Structure 1
Amino acid sequence: MRRLFLLIFLISSGIQAQETDDGYSFSLEKAIRFGLENNYSSVNAQRDIDIAIKQKWEIIAQGLPQLGAITDYQNYLKQPVTLLPGEIAGEEPGTFVPVVFGTKHNLNATATWNQLIFDGSYIVGIQSAKTLLQISKNAKTKTNHEVKKAIINAYGNVLLAEESVEILEKNVANVEKNYNETKEIYKNGLAEEEDVEQLEITLLRLKNNLSRSRRMQDISYDVLKLSLGLPVETPVELTEDLDELAMEYFDMGLLETQIPVEENIDYRIAENRAQSAEIQVKLEKSKALPSLSGFLNYGVQGFSQEFTFFNSDQEYFGQSILGISLNIPIFSSGMRGARTQQKKIAYEQAILELEETRNDVLRKINSAKIEYEYSLENFQTQKKNLELSERIERKNQIKFFEGVGSSFELSEAQRQLYTAQQDFLQSMLNVITNKAELENLLDTTNYPDEN
């Protein structure tokens, strides 16, 4: 039993985000799984499926037997009086005798069984309920795609902000060291004042960028927490580095992946709209068909001058009715035909939009592959540019302190290095986000039709 408990613990700890007393710790995959379960939009999308399931059974139940009961009790505080001709009671002709009919206390109890026998709109309604459920499931899949993309983007932006802060802190430390050394050299008369001023400008610019990057880091964390469905005050720690994550997202084979357009979620949603439009046409046509329903009821009545309905000797009188109701639409002055034509036109529009969606999905997949392939190439280019910029900056720094290079040349080399650093970070993020976009387009996840 102890080994079983340990096994369950190890399995559960491997698939859940690590929650500590100080907050949460996430890898990207754990963050995605956590967000798909806890993101506000994802939770509500699942609730939409639950609602659609209940609506489906609500519609089905309309064609099943319906049983109801009603009980009426009447106590005539003042019974109504009816006037009868006096001749009945031996009075003079032309006179009337007041008479009270019935008893002071009346009790009626009736149970009724209603059954729909045939209704064309009911059959169409069941089809509509199934389509609504599928729409909700596809909407859930689409929401999951959007949530996954948002989490990947937010996670990547946090890593980008952290890397930017770390690089800028190193740059500030290096330039500050150069600035202090150059000031001492200037005091000894071996450097120009402009050299000191140029380094000071660079240092101030770096400190300003560092301050901004720290603020962006805080904002990025808040965006990530929101996409995960966590309160913004919850501490969160990320366990991956941007460069490692970018290398994990290198997948040239993804560029060769092909799927049937019909399995793309955007196409399936457009197909749902066309199916709904077709059902609306069927619904309008079904309204021209007759409907047939039946009912059976049974009731009892009790009468008494006193409230004796719970006495064993109280007499009750039974009654029962069996009946059917047939409703036949005959003439609507063209109203039903006009409505049917409207729905047919809407259906034709939905079919045209479906064809447009097919082409748009193909375009999006092709475009996403191009973007992803370019991001892989750009990553290699920016990595090489960074290596070159670092070498150029080191050479210019050596020249500057040896007195054979100007502060302007050093400043330009540093500016080029800082730009290359940010471009390289952005290229890594682009690899991650572009792959996520392509994976969403190629995803064929579908909910089983089990409800």
Structure 2
Amino acid sequence: MRKTIFLLICVLGSLNTSKAQDSTEVQSYALSLQEAITYGLENSYDAKNAYTDVEIALKQKWEIIAQGLPQISGEVTYQNQFIQPTSFIPAVVFDPSADPGDFIPVQFSQKQNASAVATWNQLIFDGSYIVGVQSAKTLLQISENAKVKTDLEVKQAIIEAYGNVLLAQESVAILQKNIETVNKNLNDTQKIFENGLGEEEDVEQLQITALNLESQLNSTVRQLAIAYDMLKLTLGIPIDSKLVVTDALEDLTMQYYDLNLLARDIDPENNIDYRIAEDQANLAETEVKLEKSKALPTLSAYVNYGAAGASNSFTFLSDEQRYFEQSILGVSLSVPIFSSGMRAARTAQKELAYKQSLEDLERARNQVKLEIASARNDYQFALDNFATQEKNLDLAERIENKNSIKFFEGIASSFELSEAQTQLYQAQQDYLQAMYEVIANKAALEKVLDTSVYKPKED
């Protein structure tokens, strides 16, 4: 029996251990840029919150609509009068010979009573209700357009964060290659110096270069880790998870090299920022209508039905308990007559706010035009700069290679080699940055040219 219990404990312990391992297992992701965009649009914190805002707006819309639909309520009350109220009746009511100043205390009600009432309320006409339904539709439109804008911003942020990871990765790889080359040159120079054919300054100059590269590599490795964490945060992936990017910076740059995009244009009114400004103007106009509607009468009706019973003891669940029914049908008409100019002042405020929103709308139109022109210019510069930096890198590699050959032939000094190497390292970083700028600036241009509309999720 003891052996059986011990075996059972071991089995349960192993199961618990395996469950704990499963719960602490780190998730792994391997994503291309397109896969990252698809994942982020579904799982990023901003995208999910924006979709929740749309759901909230849908509920608010129905809340407003429901105010004009039948409202049914019920009420059940029970009272137990531990000390019943006492009334005083002139004694002459019961005894004509009694002194007129005498009163007799009496208790009319029974100690316990219960009642149940159901009420049906129906709004028949309310101008503010009609306008409220219109405003609910506008608010829903605002939240849907806000979701579209959020998705565009999330997409751009993912592209930039993904590009930063690739940029840091390529920088690490290039620095490692440069360190390998410098260390080889340093070893060769050290041997030449030890054989009495070189100067110690040449060795020291290469040592300085190697130390600087090591420092840059360590810093870039840390930047790469931060870039990965930033990408995870943008995607909505836990920071402690594992993430691998599967695209290469150069391949992605070629995909984002699109001269046709420079010729593309849109109507500014289709831009999401303009549409949001238009929604705000529509909402301001609706608020003007709402204030004006408050001068209209409100008509509502109600009908209720109920029953009540009383007893000196709790017999309300008994078949013998008597209940007395009652029912009321009522109509209520409320007509605003005079507000001492308060409604007029409120309406004037809303009209001025609406006027401001129209100015904001016109500004949004021109701002969209400016953003498109600016983004197009930035992308054009990024393409031109990429071509320039590609040529500069080729030249810097040739110059560094020539100076390296001259150095080991004793024609060039270590200082000249160091200058050529520094120029090469800068050209490498400029080339990597130029590739990133092509990707980032195309994403920015695509964002301002985007004319997407809200699409509900499919169940």
- SS state at 2:273 partner: helix
The verdict on how the C-alpha distance between 1:134 and 1:222 changes in structure 2, with shifts beyond 3 A counting, is same
Spell out, residue by residue over 1:122-162, the C-alpha distance to the aligned partner (whole angstroms, 9 max, x if none).
11111111111111111111111111111111100101101
Which residue of structure 2 aligns with residue 353 of structure 1? 360
Structure 2 residue 306 is the aligned partner of structure 1 residue 294: no
8 Å CA contact 2:31–2:246 kept in 1: the answer is yes
Matched, 1:39 2:63: no
**Alpha-carbon distance in structure 1 between the residues aligned to 2:457 and 2:289:** 25
Task: Report the CA distance between 1:21 and its aligned residue.
Answer: 7.2
Q: Choose the corresponding residue for 2:291, options 260, 277, 284.
A: 284
Aligned sequence identity (%): 59
- TM-fit CA distance, 1:191: 1.3
With over 3 angstroms needed to count, the CA separation of the structure-2 counterparts of 1:426 and 1:228, relative to structure 1, is same
Moved over 4 A (4+): 448-451
Which SS does the other structure have where 1:103 is aligned?
A: coil
**Once the 2 structures are TM-superposed, how far is the Cα of residue 303 of structure 1 from its aligned partner?**
2.0
The answer to whether structure 1 residue 412 and structure 2 residue 419 are counterparts is yes
Matched position secondary structure for 1:156: helix
Aligned match for 1:73, one of 71, 78, 101? 78
The match for 2:281 is 274
Q: Is the 8 A contact 2:26 2:241 kept in 1?
A: no
Counterpart contact for 2:26–2:242, Cα < 8 Å? no
Aligned to 1:17: none
Q: In the aligned structure 2, how far is the partner of 1:71 from the partner of 1:450?
A: 43
Residue equivalent to 1:218: 225
* Number of the residue aligned with 1:117: 124
Quote how far apart the aligned CAs of 1:391 are. 0.8
For 1:311-326, list aligned pairs within 5 A: 311-326=318-333
Cα deviation for residue 273 of structure 1 reads 1.1
- What is the Cα deviation at residue 407 of structure 1? 1.1
2:442 to 430, 435, 446: 435
- Any idea what the Cα deviations from partners look like across 1:314-342, whole Å, max 9, x if unmatched? 22111111111111111111111111111
Match of 1:198 among 198, 205, 222: 205
TM-score (norm 2): 0.92
**1:450–1:372 Cα change, 3 Å:** closer
Report the alpha carbon displacement of residue 79 of structure 1 after superposing the two structures with TM. 1.5
What TM-score comes out, normalization by structure 1 length? Answer: 0.93
Q: Which amino acid aligns with 2:34?
A: E
SS for the counterpart of 1:231 is: coil
Which piece of structure 1 moves more, 41-50 or 91-100? Answer: 91-100
Q: Using the TM superposition, give the Cα deviation of residue 382 of structure 1 relative to its aligned residue in structure 2, in angstroms.
A: 0.8
Q: Which residue of 2 aligns with 1:337?
A: 344
The SS at the match of 1:106 is strand
What is the match of residue 127 of structure 1?
134
Match of 2:15 in 1: none
Question: Structure 1: which 5+ residue stretches go unaligned?
Answer: 1-19
| C-alpha RMSD over aligned residues | 1.5
> Could you tell me how far 1:313 is from its partner in structure 2?
2.5
Which residue matches 2:108?
101
Could you tell me which runs of 5 or more consecutive residues in structure 2 were left unpaired when the two chains were aligned: 1-24
The answer to which of 71-80 and 145-154 deviates more is 71-80
Q: Distance in 1 between matches of 2:388 and 2:457?
A: 50
Amino acid at match of 2:65: I
Cα distance in 2 for partners of 1:424, 1:198 equals 26
Mapped partners of 1:333, 1:103: distance in 2:
51
- Counterpart amino acid of residue 227 in structure 1: T
Tell me, yes or no, if the aligned pair for 2:117 and 2:306 is still in contact at 8 Å: yes
Matched residues, number: 432
Please give the secondary structure, in 2, of the residue aligned with 1:358.
helix
Deviations 1:391-414 (A, max 9, x none): 111111001101111111111111
C-alpha distance in 1 between matches for 2:222 and 2:82: 80
